Amino acid sequence: MSQKLTLALSKGRIFEETLPLLKAAGIVVTEDPETSRKLILPTNDPLVNVIIVRASDVPTYVQYGAADFGVAGKDVLLEHGGEGLYQPIDLEIAKCRMSVAVSAGFDYASAIRQGARLRVATKYLLTAREHFARKGMHVDLIKLYGSMELAPLVGLADAIVDLVSTGGTLRANNLVEVEHIMDISSRLVVNQAALKLKRERLQPILDAFEKASGQSA
């Protein structure tokens, strides 16, 4: 049986940080997604292709079996829900944290004390809703698709829930981190049917990923 495998990755940090793991599994992507216009990239293994999709679409491609496996951030997986996905390995790549941030002049602590109903802009509605519910805070969530840092600066929101790594973008926009919600890293996700039907092909790759990610962590 031909066991063709399709791996879903997003451009940028996930693609870059997955390359060494692929290499450990003997797989080399032979075209650069930053310069190629192709969305299906070949590898040195004629039976392995990489598809390039939006970071938040990776779980969907894998869930429906359009890709056999993929790499997605915990942020993205929490919003997706993980249905149909087997999540065997935390690859410990694309590490950052999900945080609440506000304008430097905004007194978050006293707003909470006074029971103010805050407006919070985020791409991560489910995670944000759960966080504030756990704290017993009433918030109005505003869904954005990017550039969350802008929202408090122009009065769209009192706070944002976003990913932070160095804090450089927050500082550059005069925002301060006021709550750490969770640590984020990327996981390998595998289609549940593919795991059964293509185990022979997949397992050595999963093993190599696991070994290589443990080493780099």
| Sequence letter at residue 88 | P
| Sequence letter at residue 71 | V
Compute the least distance from the CB of residue 5 to ligand ATP, in Å: 22
**Residues in touch with ligand ATP (CB under 6 A):** 10, 12-14, 54-56, 73, 75-76, 94-96, 146, 163, 165, 184, 186
| DSSP string computed for 35-74 | T---SEEEBSSTTEEEEE--GGGHHHHHHTTSSSEEEEEH
Cβ nearer to ligand ATP, comparing 163 with 178? 163
Cβ nearer to ligand ATP, comparing 20 with 26? 20
Q: Which residue is nearest to ligand ATP (CB)?
A: 73
Name residue 160's beta-bridge partners.
101, 121
Compute the least distance from the CB of residue 171 to ligand ATP, in Å: 13
Is the separation of the CB atoms in 48 and 54 below 8 Å? no
Q: Is 178 exposed, middle or buried (0-12, 13-18, 19+ CB in 10 A)?
A: middle
Compute the least distance from the CB of residue 179 to ligand ATP, in Å: 17
Compute the least distance from the CB of residue 111 to ligand ATP, in Å: 26
Cβ nearer to ligand ATP, comparing 112 with 125? 125
Helix (H, G, I), strand (E, B) or coil at 186: strand
Cβ nearer to ligand ATP, comparing 103 with 186? 186
